[in-house]
């Protein structure tokens, strides 16, 4: 027997599954004019009210600059606004517009359809368990990188 038969790389396995599921969700969501990531962003904003970009990025396990880029098309399309925080002019507050709320509501049925298709194929309970596992991973601390260690 050869050494590495099935994939042993944890990242590769995650990416492959994510691509597959993205394909499903993005295809189903396409009718609503939102991508999966975009919808996730809008959902978080609605839950938080008016989060700063940093808060939003942390909640989504997304680099600040990546979030910055991702917000651009949404702001351009009038789904959200980014305003200076009066209390700390370095911060930006992100808010949904009426249009953003409406778009989110419109995407609800499609999202549910994608969820159902995924859970029908994969199993509802397995999906719930998996989400919990994945949330745990998203919150993992892997220790500091050498460069961050004190001198």
Partner DNA sequence: TCCAAGTACCTGCATATGCATCTATTGCCA
Partner DNA sequence: TGGCAATAGATGCATATGCAGGTACTTGGA
Binding partner of residue 122 among DNA, a copy of itself, none, CB cut-off 5 to 8 Å per kind: a copy of itself
Question: Residue 99, interface with DNA (CB under 7 A)?
Answer: no
Least spacing, CB of residue 120 vs DNA, in Å: 20
Rounded alpha-carbon distances, angstroms, from residue 137 to 96, 106, 127, 134, 140: 29, 31, 15, 5, 5
Q: Of 14, 83, 7, 8, give the one whose Cα is nearest residue 45.
A: 83
Pick the piece of the chain touching DNA (CB under 7 A) from 52-60, 98-106, 107-115, 136-144.
52-60
Place of tokens 């942390």: 58
Distance CA 6, CA 113 (A): 32
Q: Which residues contribute to the site for DNA (CB under 7 A)? A: 15, 19, 22-23, 26-27, 35, 37-38, 52-54, 57, 62-66, 68-70, 73, 76, 82, 88-92
């Amino acid at each position: 027997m050869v050494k590495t038969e099935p994939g042993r790389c944890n990242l590769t396995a995650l990416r492959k599954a994510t691509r597959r599921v993205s394909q499903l969700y993005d295809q189903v969501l396409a009718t609503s004019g939102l991508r999966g990531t975009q919808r996730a962003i809008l959902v978080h904003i609605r839950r938080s009210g008016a989060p700063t970009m940093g808060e939003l990025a942390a909640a989504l396990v997304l680099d600040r600059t990546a979030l910055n880029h991702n917000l651009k098309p949404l702001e351009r399309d009038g789904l959200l606004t980014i305003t200076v925080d009066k209390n700390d002019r370095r911060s930006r507050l992100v808010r949904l517009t009426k249009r953003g709320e409406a778009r989110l509501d419109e995407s609800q049925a499609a999202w549910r359809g994608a969820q159902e298709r995924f859970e029908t194929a994969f199993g509802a309970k397995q999906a719930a368990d998996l989400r919990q596992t994945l949330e745990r991973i998203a919150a993992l601390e892997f220790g500091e990188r050498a460069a961050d260690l004190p001198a």
